[in-house]
Amino acid sequence: MEIRDKGAVVSGAGSGIGRAMATMLAENGAGVVVADIDMEGGKETVERILAAGGKAVFKRCDVTRTEDLAAAMAAAVEHFKRLDIVCNNAGIGGEALFDDDPGPWAKVVEIDLTAVIDATRIAVREMKKSREGGVIINTASMGGLLPMPGSPVYAASKAGVINFTRSLAYLAPEARIRVNAICPSYVDTPLVRRAGDERVEEMKLQVGGILQPEDIARGVIELVEDDSRAGAIMRVTVRGGRDYAREIRP
């Protein structure tokens, strides 16, 4: 898909990977709805895009609320006259699986998996209205492909995103809608930095370094532009660069 003059929505675009995705899509000519629950961060992303000559608007979005997701998609149509690209990127880490309170780990599932399913559902319905197709990219993780003993619920949620994405490959021939996922290794974001410098250094040693958000954004551009990819799972690692997990044909 040619990105110029398309309408895009990026969730979690107030910082980190989402900000890099939104910025790079705008640099390539898309009009971008910056969707985030963080109003300050989201508006800062918009200001950066506008200052660079791009097109963007902010829409406050709690991805656990269906009405917020629908409003973000509608904002792309309102401001840019179309919805072509959706990046379901918002996510959280942290869990306390064996505590009495299920709240923390349940929230991980709600944001990292359930919200991705809901947003994809809404985006597909909107894209079908135009009959021009579109591209949906779900942010998963290398933790969805490999065990994560320290974060099993996060790993399970991201694994769910991966198989959900693969299972929608049939939408490409049926409705010209391509659903793909991107699986980064550790990325230098505020979320990762909250673990502390010592933990970040451990991560670097474990996987050979740490990615920058722009590394993931470049993968998103590739997935949007490559019309042959549907149900594809892109891996992004320091050692391996960008490659694809084994493809499963529908």
Domain segments of the chain as ranges? 7-244
Mean pLDDT of 200-209: 77
Structure tokens at 189: 């974001």
Among 123, 124, 220, which Cα is nearest to 170's? 124
Is residue 182 a contact partner of residue 137, using CB atoms and an 8 Å limit? yes
43-72 core/surface letters (b: 16 or more CB in 10 A; e: else):
bbbbebbeeeebbbbbbbbbbeeeebbbbb
Structure tokens at 222: 């590739």
Superfamily of domain 7-244: NAD(P)-binding Rossmann-like Domain (3.40.50.720)
**The one-letter amino acid at 15:** S
pLDDT tens-digit profile of 55-93? 999 999 999 999 999 999 999 999 999 999 999 999 998
The 3-state DSSP class for residue 88 equals: strand
Note if 154 is an active site residue. yes
Is residue 72 a contact partner of residue 61, using CB atoms and an 8 Å limit? yes
**The one-letter amino acid at 222:** E
Of 154, 170, 186, 244, the active-site residue reads 154
Structure tokens at 187: 């990325």
Whether the per-residue pLDDT at 249 is higher than 70: the answer is: no
pLDDT at site 102: 85
